[in-house]
Structure 1
């Protein structure tokens, strides 16, 4: 992975800059639709904390991966949600990576940022929904998805779960970790 990449929250002034990334997973998405979506997520950020208490990240937002020049190479949107089996989960959507040379490095940076974010927010698991661009075309036939297809449904996403208690301890990350998360 290139150490020149940093995961950080999307700034309101960068909403338009992120639009081409999102179009990679949502072709035809209107810029106004993207602006409204991003503004709504960024609007949920909690403002202000006491100087003594470490500042927690917002419970919903957009995390980007940028190089040192500020060019975006990936992002995901997230929201903390309740889940029947896991309790508090970090629900991740709109995961996108665009880079000519280091797709894995960008993806690894985003995945590490997800885990740090989830731990800082006290989540027990991370649920990630991937765009159909990440679904393999040669997947085996399965009777359950076939039933959905027969009834007119189509597969749009793959969802992954990382149970933080099973993988390693679920202790919150101390200050540090994910740089620039507020």
Structure 2
């Protein structure tokens, strides 16, 4: 069963600039530059048949391109940090894109996503991090000034079964209209 998710890949300039930040937190599992993306909808482990249905459902829609602006560095799991990320500014087209993906997945019988959509680019994952180390990294690491970008497509990705993680494989590309 493939593990699937939809997401937006980053321009190489953004990936390179973010990869330069990837040091300074002990025990961090830094995300490979080639795997950096903005997740739109985590789908999970599905049968090959359902995977094909998902790919076909996504192809039947017309999608508007969002405007992507990186705003700050942050972490998830404040008291017990578990990931570092670059936050993405709220954008109506981006929110709509994620919301329609959610609706399509539920129509295909998948359970609803329980977390609110918080667009971001994961830079590192970890467990047992010191909150002090994470706060120090956030206080001393500056997000580079990167220009906004408007992607021309999003991807259906697959990851390793049951565990997730990269390397991610692009299973299908879907155009975004400007």
TM-score, length-normalised on structure 1?
Answer: 0.27
Work out which of the two has the higher radius of gyration on C-alpha atoms and give 1 or 2.
1
TM-score, length-normalised on structure 2?
Answer: 0.27
Bigger relative CO (Cα 8 Å, ≥ 6 apart): 2
